[in-house]
């Protein structure tokens, strides 16, 4: 018969009962932490990290600025390139914009109904993918575009370019993107909002100074900024800045929701306008891209360019 094992001796002193193991939270956790609070902090941290990455990519991505095309129409009887429709970009305007380390792309006309090279690309697509628009100078705005008849054949303008640039302008405004118009571009902005132009300053404003002559971009005059205008705020120390003058047409009747930003000091001809209902839609009658080469006495328009590009960065989303 098997003998039962005797219980092991506990020794002269009784053993205390075994203690349950306590699971204490790590020292870095808050005393009142709960699983829900910990989960929420983890999710919040992840979202903040993603937000920071997206923000860095958006703010650090190089701006892409579109510039409207000048158009050379075929000459009758010509051969080679002069017999073709050419679209081109004047070098100075491109270099002026690129001086602030942004990408510049010329925006060509589009033709969705072409029999030769059809495309579904629209000017709206350029407004969607680019960050801002510059309307460069060039041919006269056609009087028919603002419901008038040319008083002389040589002032008939370029109605084909008007149609293209007006659509381009409205698409960028609709997309909330900034627009800067130069010379013709300033006049086009006025016409786009229902304004009219002097077809020829000398013949329609007899008291006006000559705003264009054979000196071309070396011809210049003083301007003044009306009190309260954004340009007056941008150039507080400039009472009568000097700009070049290369235009025989000018703003006559001001378009809807436009404000005069600068006038010619000698005769009151409008030299700059701004659309009051847009973040940044401004037209300059002079050519800021020629100023640096023209001499230190000319107005340094870099603050205007910077304001335009700042608006482009802020409205790029």
- Among candidate residues 183, 211, 271, 275, the one labeled active-site is 183
Cα–Cα distance, 155 to 65 (Å, whole number): 30
- In the chain, the N- to C-terminal Cα span, in Å, equals 92
287 noted as active-site residue: yes
Question: b or e along 123-138 (b: 16 or more beta carbons within 10 Å of the residue's beta carbon)?
Answer: bbebbeebbbbbbbbb
Query: d(Cα 114, Cα 108) in Å, to the nearest integer?
Result: 14
Structure tokens belonging to residue 249:
């047409």
- CA 259 to CA 254: how far, in whole Å? 8
CA 196, 273, 230 angle in degrees (round to 5)?
165
183 counts as catalytic: yes
Q: Per the residue annotation, which of 221, 289, 291, 301 is the catalytic one?
A: 289
Taking the CA atoms of the chain, what radius of gyration do you get in angstroms?
33
Q: Which residues are catalytic?
A: 183, 287, 289
């Amino acid at each position: 018969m098997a003998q039962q094992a005797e219980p092991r001796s506990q020794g002269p002193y009784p053993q205390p009962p075994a203690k349950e193991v306590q699971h204490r939270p790590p020292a870095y956790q808050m005393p009142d932490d709960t699983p829900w609070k910990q989960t929420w902090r983890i999710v919040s941290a992840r979202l903040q990290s993603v937000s920071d990455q997206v923000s860095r990519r958006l703010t650090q991505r190089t701006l892409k600025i579109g510039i409207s095309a000048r158009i050379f129409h075929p000459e009758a009887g010509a051969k080679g390139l002069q017999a073709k429709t050419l679209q081109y970009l004047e070098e100075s305007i491109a270099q002026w914009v690129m001086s602030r380390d942004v990408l510049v792309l010329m925006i060509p006309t589009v033709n969705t109904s072409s029999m030769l090279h059809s495309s579904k690309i629209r000017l709206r697509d350029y407004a969607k993918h680019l960050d801002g628009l510059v309307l460069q100078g060039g041919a006269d705005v056609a009087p028919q575009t603002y419901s008038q008849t040319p008083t002389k054949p040589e002032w008939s303008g370029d109605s084909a370019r008007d149609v293209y640039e007006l659509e381009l302008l409205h698409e960028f405004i609709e997309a909330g993107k900034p627009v800067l118009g130069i010379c013709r571009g300033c006049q086009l902005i006025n016409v786009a909002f229902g304004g009219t132009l002097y077809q020829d300053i000398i013949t329609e404003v007899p008291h006006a100074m000559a705003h264009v002559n054979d000196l071309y971009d070396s011809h210049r005059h003083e301007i003044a900024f009306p009190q309260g205008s954004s340009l007056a705020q941008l150039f507080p120390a400039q009472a009568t800045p000097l700009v070049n003058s290369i235009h025989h047409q000018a703003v006559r009747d001001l378009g809807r929701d436009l404000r005069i930003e600068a006038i010619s000091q000698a005769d009151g001809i409008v030299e700059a306008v701004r659309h009051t209902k847009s973040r940044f839609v401004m037209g300059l009658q002079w050519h800021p891209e020629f100023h640096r080469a023209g001499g230190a006495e000319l107005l340094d328009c870099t603050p205007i360019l910077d304001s335009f590009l700042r608006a482009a960065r802020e409205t790029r989303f």
